Copies of this chain bind each other. A is one copy, B any other.
Amino acid sequence: MNTFGKNLTLTTFGESHGPAMGGVIDGFPPGYKIDFDRLYEEVAKRRPGQSPLVTARKEDDRPEFLSGISPDGITLGTPIGFIVRNSDHHSSDYDEMARAFRPNHADYTYIARYGIRDYRGGGRQSARETVNWVVAGALCLQWLQTKGIQIEAVLSQVGPITAGDIFDSLMTSPEKPFSLEVNPDLRLAMDEFVKETKKAGDSVGGKVSCLISGLPAGLGEPVADKLHARLAAAMMSINAAKGFEYGLGFRAPYAKGSETLDNFLPTSAPGETPKTSSNFSGGIQGGISNGMPVFFSVAFKPTPTLMMPVKTVDTEGREMTLNPAGRHDPCVAVRAVPVVKAMAALVVADFLV
């Protein structure tokens, strides 16, 4: 289905080449004054075409809010409906695709699932859908900030250019002022790598890392809605995501118990949330936040849309060659950064409302 969340839900709709994307945010707290300028700014970060790194499609992407907000910008507690028009949706460049099953795309699986698919571009499978998530996430981010919760996300790997274990210092010295900022040289090298990949008509995978700080202890459910299970499901919902890890993540299989205990530090007052001397746990114990920073990474595959001819089959199962057409996103992980942040905000807000 197309609904995320339980207490704060986001239900979305939209095909990339239909009239509009949109959604309904239900359960958003009443009485909160929205800063629309900041919201538009946050949404714009996702917009393609704003940097050499991302696909050339130009879109305004300014959401129109239709309900749930008073004329003076205050949330009413009622559902917030919004739409984002698809300004650029002629589909002449998609004609050939209409009769192809493109490899690593969902053309075939949509047919297997529904018996029909929107042949105008990506349809519902397009990453265009994530504009809905970023709109909803931007609202949540604002509200979370009023609770002292900050969420940051960065691109931490592109091909072989990697920030390494970007969470290292957070795991071993969690008391230090922590920055998720990637070394500028590394950042430049990533940009360079993406540009070269684009020039070659190819694409490359990437990794996005995310830090949630200021989270109070006690969020999450211990069995079926563990905080990290909900984060994992949200992140794996992002187009092209292939993996999720939090805390020690995929270094955990190598670890010894004696070397990864997060020892509690004595508290100075009763009832105070105890800090831990390390944070290999990634801020979650038994599915529930413990008051330490929560951090995780998401792996993304390269987009299968390439600027080179690709051999595949048509909808009748016959061989065909698909020529490059339309836009090309050399590294979807770049565009996923604000989406990761938005989805993290949705998950956290769902537990807090």
Contact = CB atoms under 8 A, between A and B. Distances in A.
Nearest to A11: B11
A18 interface: yes
Nearest to A109: B288
Which of A18, A264, A272, A289 has the most chain B CB atoms closer than 10 A to its own CB? A264
Which of A21, A112, A304, A316 has the most chain B CB atoms closer than 10 A to its own CB? A112
A252 to B, nearest CB: 4
Contact of A256 (B110, B120, B203): B203
Contacts of A269: 317
A64 to B, nearest CB: 8
A23 B254 CA distance: 34
A205 B259 CA distance: 11
A3 B9 contact: yes
Contacts of A112: 216-218, 273, 288-291
Interface in A92-115: 101, 103-106, 108-110, 112-115
Interface string A199-241: 0001111110000000011111111111011101111110101
A73 interface: no
Interface stretch (A48-56, A137-145, A176-184, A307-315): A307-315
Contacts of A76: 15, 114, 116-118, 123-124
A189 interface: no
A253 B205 contact: yes
Contact of A302 (B3, B4, B230, B255): B255
Which of A112, A222, A272 has the most chain B CB atoms closer than 10 A to its own CB? A222
B223 A81 contact: no
A89 to B, nearest CB: 11
Interface in A235-279: 235-237, 239, 241-258, 260-270, 272-274, 276
B20 A23 contact: no
Contacts of A313: 264-267, 274
10 contacts: A1-B221, A1-B224, A4-B224, A76-B117, A242-B247, A245-B299, A248-B301, A252-B300, A257-B304, A266-B318
